[in-house]
Amino acid sequence: MSDANLERAGRLDTATLSDAMDKLGIAGQCLGIKPLDPGFRLLGRAVTFQYAAATRPAGSVGDYIDDVPPGSVIVLDNGGREDATVWGDILTSVSHRRGIAGTLIDGACRDTDLARALCYPVFSRSYSMRTGKDRVQLEASDIVVTIGDARVAPGDIVRGDADGALVLPRAQEDAILDAAEAIERAEASIRAALDQGMRLDDARKQQNYHLLQRGVAD
Nearest to 156 by CA among 45, 25, 26, 13: 45
Helix (H) or strand (E) holding 53: strand 42-53
Q: What is the pLDDT confidence band of residue 75, given thresholds at 50, 70 and 90?
A: very high
Q: Average model confidence (pLDDT) for the chain?
A: 92
Question: 96-124 pLDDT, tens per residue?
Answer: 999 999 999 999 999 999 999 999 999 99
pLDDT computed for residue 83 by the predictor: 96
Peptide bond into 57 cis (omega under 30): yes
Q: Which of 92-106, 178-192, 204-218 has the lowest mean pLDDT?
A: 204-218
pLDDT computed for residue 151 by the predictor: 98
| pTM given for the model | 0.90
Residue 54 · residue 137 · CB < 8 Å: yes
Q: What is the DSSP letter of 217?
A: T
Residue 6 · residue 17 · CB < 8 Å: no
Pairing state between β 122-127 and 34-35: antiparallel
Q: CA-CA distance, 13 to 164, in Å (whole number)? A: 10
Question: 9-39 pLDDT, tens per residue?
Answer: 999 999 999 999 999 999 999 999 999 999 9
